[in-house]
Structure 1
Amino acid sequence: MGQPTDHSPRAAWLAGQLAKSVGADDMTCQEATAVSLLRWSGCTANAPEFAHLFGDDVNGRKALLATQSSSSGFRAGTRRKGSAFLSLSRIHCEVSGDIAAQLGLNDATQFALRHLFESHDGSGAPDGLRGEQVPVTVYIASLAGDLDIFNRLYGLEQACKLIEHRAGVLYPQALASLVVANASRWLAALDDDPTLSGPCSLDVAFADRATSLEILAHVIDLKLPWMTGYSRRVAQLASNAAVELGLGAPSQQMVYRAALIHGMGRAAVPNMIWETPGKLAESAWERVRLVPYWTGRAARQIGSLAGEAEVASYAYERPDGSGYYREAKAGNIPVEGRILAAAAALVALRAARPWRDALTDAAAGELLMAEATAGRFDAEVVRVLLNKPRRIMAKPLAAPLTGLLSERERDVLRWISLGASNKTAAQKLSISPSTVRTHVESVFRKLECTTRAAATLKATQLGFL
C-alpha cells in the first residue's frame, strides 16, 4: 500500500481509542481493532488488477490513499476507470473476509472486512450499503486510517479538515467530530508509546491468539499469480534438506517457518518490476535488493518471529558476497539461511515465469550445481537438495473435501490460480473457453467465492493446489 510498516498497528491503536470513546463494549473494541489491523490484508489479492490499471500498484495505491477528496481515495481515483472501484473492492474484501474466517475471528468481524469500502452515503462497495447498514467498525477503521495517513502527510490541522470534509459522505458526522476533538491527544499518546505497549496494547486485545504461518504464505503469494504455492514449496524443500543435513528439530522448524515468510518484503515492489523480462533498470533493481530487508523489518514486528525474520532476510545472500541486501559472505550466513537461499532458487527454476518456461528437474539441478561450484550457493546444501531427500509431505491446513471438485475442475483451477485467462486455460487443457467458464463458475459455487483470488486462497488452504 506504500505505507510505513507501522501504519496498520498505529491505525488499530487509534481505532481502539475511538471505539472506547463512543462507549463500545470490549467485544466491539476488539472487533474495531481487528478490522483496522486487517484492513489491507486483501491488498496482495488485487495487486495484478491494480498493476493493470495504474502500472505501479504500490505507488498507485499510495497516491490514492493520499488523495484529498470528499470520498475515499479509491473511489475518487478510479472514477474514470469504469467498474474498477467495484471489481477491485470486491476482490480485496472477499479475500480479507476469508482471511478473517481462517483466523477464527467472529462473524461480525468477517462481515465488516467483507464491506471495507462501504460509505455512509451509500456510494461505496462492494454492496452499496449506507448509514447503519455499514458496521460501525468499518467507519472506525476508515477514520483511524485516514487520521494516521493524513496527519503524517499533511499535519494535524489539515488532517482534521480532510476528515471533516469526508464526514457525512464516507463516515458519520458524529464519529468524525469525535476524532477531530480527540486527535491531538490520541496522537500524542501514540507518539509517547511507539511500541504500543500501554493500556491499549494490541497484545492485550489479542492475548492468547495464534495462527498458522501457512495462511500468511498464501496471502504473500497472491500478489503475483504465477507465485501460487511458491512459499510452501520452498518451505517443504528447505525443511526436508534440514532433516537430511542432520540439523536439530529447532533448526528444522526455524528454516521451515522462515521460508514461509521470506517473500513478505515482495509486497513493497510493484508487479511491473517483478514481471520485467531481462535486466532491470538500476532504480528497479535497488527496490528488489531491499526485499529481504523489508521482510526482516516487517516480520520482526511479530516478536515470536524474530529468529525466523533474521533467517528469512538471508534468502538472497550468496556465499561469495554477490547476494543482497547485506552482500554477506559464507562465514556470516547461518546454515538455515544457506538452505533457504538454495531451496528458493531451486523452486523458482522449476516453475514457469512470465518471461520463460519452467526448467526440467535435470536442467534446474545442473544450473544450481554450476552456481554452487562458482561459489554462489552452499555446495553441500545443493547436493542434498538434488539427491531427492526423503520427502516429508506438507499437510493441507484443512482436510480436503473428497469429491468437492472434479478432476477437470481442479485442472482448470490450477491454471486460473496461476493467472491464466479462460482462453489460455482452454488452450492448455484442449477444451473450449466456454467449457472453462462453466468449470470456473462451478468452482466458485462450490468454494463459495466470486473472485479468482479468493478461489486460489481457499483452494490452497484446502489442499486442492
Structure 2
Amino acid sequence: MALEIRLAEILGSLSRALDLTEGQPPGHCVRCCWIGVNIGHTLGLSDVDLRDLYYMLLLKDLGCSSNAARICDLYLADDLAFKKDFKLLDGSLPQVLRFVLSHTGAHAGLAERFRSVINILRNGGEIARELIETRCQRGADIARQMRFSDGVASGILDLDEHWDGGGKPLGRAGESISLSARIALLAQVVDVFHSASGPDAALAEASNRSGQWFDPAVVAAFVTVAQSKRFWTMLGRDDLEAHVLAMEPGQEKALADEDYLDDIAQAFARVIDAKSPFTSGHSERVAVFSDMIAEEMGFDGRRRRWLRRAALLHDVGKLGVSNSVLDKNGKLDEAEWQAMRGHAGLSEAILSRISAFADLSKVAGAHHERLDGKGYPRGLTGEQIEIETRIVSTADVFDALTADRPYRAAMPISKALAILREGIGSSHDPLCIEALERALDRAAMAEAA
C-alpha cells in the first residue's frame, strides 16, 4: 500500500539521533539545513541542487557513529564530549595540541594516558584522516541505500574537505569539492559557534576561515543572509523544524510504499550498529529473530513487516550513549548504568516524532521491560507489555547472549536458550521462547536437508 509521507519529516526527526552521536544540541542538523538552504538561495542554486543540498544537510552526519568506538579507543575519552568540543577547533596547531592534551585519557592511568598522547602526537594526521574517511564513506554509502542521489552522497563524502586543500580525507581543494559540502561545512561551523557564543562569534569564525576552510563566495553569501534579523531569530525557535519542513524544495509530499520505509529502517539500523564493534549486525539479527518468532506465532505478513521495522530501530537511542559506556569491559557504575538505561526512552522519543514510525516507538521504548515489573524505563508488568514488545525483547536478549560482548564471549545457542528459559514468567514470555525454539529447530533441519 502506498503511503503519503513527507520525506523531510522522517529525515528531520531521525537527524536528531545523528545530533546525539555527534554530541551536538538537539536540532543541529535541522539548524544547519536552515542556514545552508538560505545560503543556497542567495547563491542562486537550481531547484535540483537545492533539493540535494537540503537532504544532504539533514543527512550530513549519517556516518558519524562509525568512528565513535575508534575515538574512545585512541583518545581514551567520551566520544560524545570529544566530538562536541572538537567542533570548536579551527585546526591551528596550538589549539590542536591543547585539545589533545586536555581530552586524551583524562580518567586513565598516567602511563596509559602518556602512551596515548605520544601516539596521537606522532600519528595524528593519519589518525584524523582515517577517522574522517571512515565517517564520510560510510555516510555516503548509507545515503545511497536510502535512495538519495549521487549529489547528496558526494556532499556527505566531501564534508570535511577544505577550500585550501588542507582538509580530509582526500585533500581536495577549491571547486573540486562538492558545492553542497562547501555550504554544509560552513553551515555546521556557523551553528556550532552561534549555539556556543551567538551571531557575532559565528560571523567572525566564517570570516577568519574564509579562503582556508571555506569558499569565499559561500562566506559572502552567508554574510548577506546574516543581515536578516529573522535568519538569526529562527535559529532559536522551538518550531524551526516545522519551518524547515515547509521549505523542502518543490514542496513535494513523497509517496512512499512499504519498501521505501523498509529501506529507511534498514539504513538507520546500519547507523545504530556502527556505534560499537560489539553491536555490528545486532539490529538486523534482532529483526530476523523477531520475524522468526512472529511467523511461528501466526502473525500475518503485514504485521511481521511492521515488527521487523520496530526491531531494526529499537536501539536508535544508543546513538546518544557514549562508547565509553557501551564498550566498557567491566561492570558499569551507577552513572554509566543510568546512561545505558536511558537509551530506551531516547529510542521512543526519536521515533514518536515521525508519523510513519510513531506506532512502533512504544515497542522500541519498552524492549527492556520485564513481565515482573523489574525492567526499565517504566517498570511495566504483565499485560501492560504488548506481545510485539515481548517478541523483540526475546530476540534482543537471544542475540545479545549469542554474540560477543566487551565483558564475555558469545554463548552457544543451547546455553542462551537455557538462560531464556530460566527467565520464563519473570523476564520473558514463554510463548515467545517456545516460538523461537521451534523456529531455530526448523532452520537447523532446513540447513541439514
- TM-score bracket relative to the smaller structure: 0.7 to 0.9
Q: Corresponding residue for 1:61?
A: 83
Matched-pair contact (CA < 8 Å) for 1:268–1:291: yes
Q: Report the CA distance shift for 1:254/1:103 in structure 2 as closer, same or farther (over 3 A).
A: closer
Matched-pair contact (CA < 8 Å) for 1:237–1:385: yes
Q: Give % identity.
A: 28
Matched-pair contact (CA < 8 Å) for 2:190–2:205: no
Q: Corresponding residue for 2:63?
A: 42
User: 1:76 Cα shift?
Assistant: 9.4
Q: Structure 1 CA distance, aligned partners of 2:420 and 2:250? A: 43
Matched-pair contact (CA < 8 Å) for 1:254–1:307: no
* 1:188 counterpart (233, 246, 268): 233
Matched-pair contact (CA < 8 Å) for 2:292–2:439: no
Q: Corresponding residue for 1:316?
A: 368
Instruction: Return the letter of the residue paired with 2:79.
Output: D
Q: What SS is found at the alignment partner of 1:366?
A: helix
Q: Structure 2 CA distance, aligned partners of 1:119 and 1:378? A: 55
**Match runs of 1:120-159 below 5 Å:** 120-159=163-202
Q: Structure 1 CA distance, aligned partners of 2:249 and 2:279? A: 32
Matched-pair contact (CA < 8 Å) for 1:74–1:85: no
Q: Corresponding residue for 1:204?
A: 251
1:3 has 2:21 as partner: no
Q: Structure 1 CA distance, aligned partners of 2:298 and 2:169? A: 52
User: 1:123 Cα shift?
Assistant: 0.5
Matched-pair contact (CA < 8 Å) for 1:70–1:165: no
Q: Corresponding residue for 1:243?
A: 295
Q: Corresponding residue for 1:279?
A: 331
Q: Corresponding residue for 1:450?
A: none
* 2:152 counterpart (81, 87, 109): 109
Matched-pair contact (CA < 8 Å) for 2:274–2:280: yes
1:95 has 2:143 as partner: no
Matched-pair contact (CA < 8 Å) for 1:5–1:298: no
Q: Report the CA distance shift for 1:5/1:333 in structure 2 as closer, same or farther (over 3 A).
A: farther
Instruction: Return the letter of the residue paired with 2:212.
Output: V
Q: What SS is found at the alignment partner of 1:196?
A: helix
Q: Corresponding residue for 2:416?
A: 364
User: 1:171 Cα shift?
Assistant: 0.8
Q: Report the CA distance shift for 1:349/1:202 in structure 2 as closer, same or farther (over 3 A).
A: farther
Residues 399-424 of structure 1: CA distance to partner in whole angstroms, max 9, x if unpaired?
Answer: xxxxxxxxxxxxxxxxxxxxxxxxxx
User: 1:360 Cα shift?
Assistant: 1.2
**Match runs of 1:316-335 below 5 Å:** 316-335=368-387
User: 1:138 Cα shift?
Assistant: 0.7
Q: Corresponding residue for 2:434?
A: 383
Matched-pair contact (CA < 8 Å) for 1:70–1:170: no
Q: Report the CA distance shift for 1:8/1:44 in structure 2 as closer, same or farther (over 3 A).
A: same
**Match runs of 1:231-270 below 5 Å:** 231-270=283-322
Q: Corresponding residue for 1:305?
A: 357
Q: Corresponding residue for 1:166?
A: 209
Q: Structure 2 CA distance, aligned partners of 1:162 and 1:301? A: 33
**Which one has a larger percent helix, Structure 1 or Structure 2?**
2
Gapped regions of structure 1 (runs ≥ 5): 394-465
Q: What SS is found at the alignment partner of 1:387?
A: helix
User: 1:262 Cα shift?
Assistant: 1.0
Matched-pair contact (CA < 8 Å) for 1:70–1:162: no
Residues 134-190 of structure 1: CA distance to partner in whole angstroms, max 9, x if unpaired?
Answer: 121111111222222222221222222222222222112332233234234223245
Instruction: Return the letter of the residue paired with 1:196.
Output: A
* 1:32 counterpart (44, 47, 53): 53
**Match runs of 1:215-230 below 5 Å:** 215-230=267-282
Matched-pair contact (CA < 8 Å) for 2:42–2:225: no
The TM-score with structure 2 as length reference comes to: 0.80
- Number of residues paired by the alignment? 391
Q: Structure 2 CA distance, aligned partners of 1:24 and 1:158? A: 27
Q: Report the CA distance shift for 1:167/1:275 in structure 2 as closer, same or farther (over 3 A).
A: same
CA RMSD of aligned residues (A): 2.7
Q: Structure 2 CA distance, aligned partners of 1:327 and 1:93? A: 40
Q: What SS is found at the alignment partner of 2:202?
A: helix
Please, which moves more after superposition, 60-69 or 384-393? 384-393
User: 1:107 Cα shift?
Assistant: 2.5
Q: Structure 1 CA distance, aligned partners of 2:24 and 2:379? A: 27
User: 1:364 Cα shift?
Assistant: 0.6
* Structure with more contact order per residue of length (Cα contacts < 8 Å, sep ≥ 6): 2
Please, which moves more after superposition, 80-89 or 209-218? 209-218
